[in-house]
């Protein structure tokens, strides 16, 4: 009986450590994904308002889960821009694969949509969704920010 109690205690201790390791690993992944999302959002903050948008041909061609995300909007609610060559233009892509500080690949989906505010002008809403590189249905981070024309032309 004493051996059974000792065995149960050791298994419980092992399970506790295993749970802690998984929690730390998940927290590390979420933190890395959040840093990627922040970096991408800062890239949008660094450009002129007229250049905030995505090439419509790439948005329309993006495969799920891009087109199934709640941030995805029908064509009239998007801000299409040309790929660079004719101003205003963008070098942004709706779907990218980036490597995080942890060395893992992450899929970064970007959405630029029109958001109408009551008694105000429409603003551009940029949403960044960071997904697992191996399983794009798993979302690790999501951030959104609105941009108004007053931020610069």
Can you list the alpha helix ranges (DSSP code H) found in 46-122? 56-61
pTM: predicted TM-score of the whole model, two decimal places: 0.82
Q: Which residues of 39-64 are buried (b: 16+ CB within 10 A; e: fewer)?
A: ebbeebeebebebbbbbbebbeebee
More confident call, 91 vs 144: 144
Give the mean pLDDT of 52-65. Answer: 87
pLDDT in tens, 103-150: 999 999 999 988 887 877 888 899 999 999 999 999 999 999 999 888
What burial class does residue 9 get, using C-beta atoms within 10 Å of its C-beta: 0-12 exposed, 13-18 middle, 19+ buried? exposed
Strand 54-55 to 80-83 pairing:
parallel
């Amino acid at each position: 009986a004493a051996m059974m109690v000792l065995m149960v205690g050791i298994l419980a201790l092992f399970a506790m450590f295993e749970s802690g390791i998984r929690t730390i690993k998940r927290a590390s992944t979420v933190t890395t994904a959040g840093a990627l999302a922040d970096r991408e959002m800062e890239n949008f903050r660094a450009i002129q308002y007229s250049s905030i948008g995505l090439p419509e041909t790439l948005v329309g061609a993006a495969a799920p889960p891009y087109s199934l995300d709640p941030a995805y909007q029908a064509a009239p609610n998007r801000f299409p821009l040309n790929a660079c060559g004719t101003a205003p233009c963008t070098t942004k892509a709706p779907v990218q694969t980036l490597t995080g500080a942890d060395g893992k690949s992450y899929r970064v989906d970007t959405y630029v949509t029109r958001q109408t505010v009551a008694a105000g002008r429409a603003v551009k809403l940029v949403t960044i969704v960071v997904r697992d590189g191996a399983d794009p249905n798993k979302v690790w981070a999501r951030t959104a920010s609105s941009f108004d024309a007053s931020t610069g032309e």
